[in-house]
Structure formats: C-alpha cells, structure tokens
C-alpha cells in the first residue's frame, strides 16, 4: 500500500467536544478509522463552547503531546493546511573584497597591510 501524500502535513482538528488540536499528520488507519497526529498542541475550545449548550470551556494547554490518536467518530472537523514551498535561497553576496578598478572619477586609495593579532598562548 502506498504512503498517503498527506503524511507530515500540518493538520487542525476539532473534536466533537469543540477542542481544537494542531499537529503533523502521522498516520491514517482506515481499518480502525483513526487519525494519529504527532507534536500536537491543544488550543482548547476557543469560544466554540458558547454556541453549543452541551459543551464546556476547555482552556489552551502549553504542553506539546508527542502523539495523539483520534477516532473518526470523535472528529467534528479536520483541516489540512497548505504546505508552503521552501523559499529559494538567494545567492549570498561575496564578502571578499573586490579588486580595485581604476576609474577616472575615483581617487585611488592606499591600503596598508593589516596586522595579525595572535592569542598570547599561540606565541
């Protein structure tokens, strides 16, 4: 069986208890009807409990859960965030001094050799 291309995608999931979880999709088990996320953060109910009289307030948690497994029947909503393509690295500008160019409008500068400093233990 081929691996699901969504594995590793960032997922936001809202449980039937109106708690939002966010993490990376770790696995989908079709036989057990489960979804596993890794590095999961719980954002609590975020005010959704106000629209549902059966729901109670659940605060945000600072802890990051290594893995959480959700039964499909416990999932109210699931959103796959678009993966942002890595920006192409811009070429680094050279930090080496450029060769002097004789131009008619610029005065030629004299340079003196730099002194090399040695650490006392290297002497």
The Cα 4–Cα 26 span in angstroms is 10
Residue 11, Cβ density class (10 Å: 0-12 exposed, 13-18 middle, ≥19 buried): buried
10-80 is classed CATH 3.20.20.70: no
The pTM for the full model equals 0.64
**27-73 tens-digit pLDDT:** 999 999 999 999 999 999 999 888 888 889 999 999 999 999 999 99
Q: Are 22 and 78 in contact (CB under 8 A)?
A: no
pLDDT at 104 over 50: yes
Q: Where are the domains of the chain?
A: 10-80
Q: How many CB atoms lie within 10 A of CB 115?
A: 6
């Amino acid at each position: 069986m081929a691996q699901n291309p969504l594995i590793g995608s960032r997922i936001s999931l809202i449980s039937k208890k109106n708690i939002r979880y966010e993490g990376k999709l770790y696995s989908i088990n079709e036989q057990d009807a489960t979804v596993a996320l890794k590095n999961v953060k719980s954002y609590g109910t975020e005010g959704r409990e106000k629209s549902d009289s059966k729901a109670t307030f659940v605060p945000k948690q600072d802890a990051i859960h290594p893995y959480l497994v959700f039964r499909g029947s416990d999932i109210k909503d699931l959103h796959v965030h678009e993966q942002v393509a890595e920006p192409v690295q811009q070429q680094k500008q050279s930090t080496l001094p450029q060769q002097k160019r004789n131009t008619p409008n610029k005065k030629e500068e004299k340079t003196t050799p730099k002194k090399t400093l040695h650490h006392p233990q290297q002497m």
